[in-house]
Structure 1
């Protein structure tokens, strides 16, 4: 994906590939601007002005270039999205129930208003909103932040979709409500056997909910592994940096280790590995050649470092490079 600008094309996403099966959760993590959100928005045709190339298959159907009318029928019915800010996603002038009813009747016109309203109240009750028969007539501003997010989840589940894309759905919520929302999503996913793509910059969220994790940096995938492998055997230095910058929950003392520097400009990304200007392990090869995703089928990393070097530290990597040259 790229976006044309007066200064040139912003290379927002490059070389991205992933898959997710029913009943499974793929977590996509990375800093702001890494391409997490726009890559999934492109699947839904929500990136106006973007130049999108490649292939995106949903049950054998090609999403990239799909006619707008066919894509509209797919949205909400088979693929749903939960956005970061429900207040901007819900229309302020219509009741929450009316908006769920409209969604149901657009995709299922044979369903009557009374039946759709009953289903809307049932959905609000399913996601834990108290007195759903009454709250169905409330406006979005009458809901708390956590309740609005629950209402968005209810809308996402209204037509029992096969895939839900959740774009940082808990970012604006406090820790207690965040835990409740994540528990709710995991419970409903098991109940409906839905595939879930969870986009976040919070590694704690991924630790709770994901089966597999894809780490993105500067518009590219840099590591993909099962959740346990990623947390206990990270390979890419960027992944290691993200994990080291998370506060400890075990009582361990010491300063956090932030990833130094800033992400590169996607107008003019650096040569070789895009992370090399910030990488403590950088070698000559990193500056010259762009590494592909490589490794075992279940754990791949876009890094030239041997697997056994990352755990030893940057100095060991430099010594090995000197010895090999």
Structure 2
């Protein structure tokens, strides 16, 4: 379902990335950390998919696994990008896709840029990394074009500046320019507005919105901020303790969400608060990935949890027959028995 905010470049919504039943775990001295447990989602051309959840929900691990950046992890499932299976691919194959076809903007915009190299040199290197036939002169012209596209004023004069000479919002734009160096079909951005003031946040989000509208770029945005999601997302995946608990188009999620965790996240938004009263907090803490409780992982914090919630993992099923809206909650589906069994096996 196309959003009216999207331009003609984004009209087809062709699938770029399909992740199915992804499991990611890490062996540590304390035991096995099951960071991602059976996650599925699809990213489409010209659309922004927001993956939302608290810190530790597994959202960053899931997207890092897409590009093979989870070193030492065991990953199972399927990750298909434009018809190519990425899970289990050789590092050489992943390098050819990473940066060239899938661009990435990491959360820490300070450490992501080399402090002792000029910004222009870093963008030029990103441009030439996958194609050494591009001359440095052409790469510099491309760097100016990219910085201009992401809204850096007087871009040509900023190539010789060092990262510390840019504000936080401008550093974020530089990273966006580097990620777009090879015009990737898919852009993954991790917490793009963290530590930015409201004005700069709006400017960065506008850059992302224009990438979708004008170039048809597919975007996966990782965030804990549903206010940001409301501004730019087309589709939303809500994660909790390594699992998807709700998945829906943005409008459906905000107007007709069904999972108690999604409700709790939305209740924490300032606009849903009443006057100057203190906003409600979600009671308790997320479970340790080393000791995930039986049943629904949110049950210990859920105000409406029933016995069944604590005994079996609820499957992710359509809500009211809507194929675009899924939730994993026994209370929502209590009148339906899941097809093929009585719930997912968490072991």
**Following TM superposition, by how much is the alpha carbon of 1:250 offset from its aligned partner in structure 2, in angstroms?**
8.3
Q: Which residue of 1 aligns with 2:246?
A: 223
How many residue pairs were aligned?
309
Answer yes or no: is the 8 Å Cα contact 1:28–1:197 preserved in 2: yes
Q: Does 1:297 align with 2:318?
A: no
Determine which structure has the larger helix proportion and give its number.
Answer: 1
State which of 90, 98, 112 in structure 1 corresponds to 2:113: 90
1:26-45, aligned counterparts within 5 Å? 26-45=49-68
Q: Which residue of 2 aligns with 1:47?
A: 70
Q: Distance in 1 between matches of 2:34 and 2:264?
A: 24
1:1-325, aligned counterparts within 5 Å? 1-248=24-271, 252-295=275-318, 296-306=322-332
Answer yes or no: is the 8 Å Cα contact 1:84–1:172 preserved in 2: no
For the structure 1 residues 308 and 88, does the alpha-carbon distance in structure 2 shift closer, same or farther, using more than 3 Å as the test? same
Answer yes or no: is the 8 Å Cα contact 1:124–1:136 preserved in 2: no
Q: Distance in 2 between matches of 1:58 and 1:149?
A: 26
TM-score (norm 2): 0.86
- Please state whether the residue corresponding to 2:331 is helix, strand or coil: coil
Q: Distance in 2 between matches of 1:31 and 1:167?
A: 13
For the structure 1 residues 197 and 308, does the alpha-carbon distance in structure 2 shift closer, same or farther, using more than 3 Å as the test? same
Structure 2: which 5+ residue stretches go unaligned? 1-23, 336-347
- Please state whether the residue corresponding to 2:244 is helix, strand or coil: strand
Answer yes or no: is the 8 Å Cα contact 2:273–2:279 preserved in 1: no
- Alignment RMSD, CA only? 1.5
Q: Distance in 2 between matches of 1:3 and 1:293?
A: 24
Q: Distance in 2 between matches of 1:75 and 1:213?
A: 24
- Please state whether the residue corresponding to 2:264 is helix, strand or coil: helix
TM-score (norm 1): 0.92
- CA radius of gyration, larger in: 1
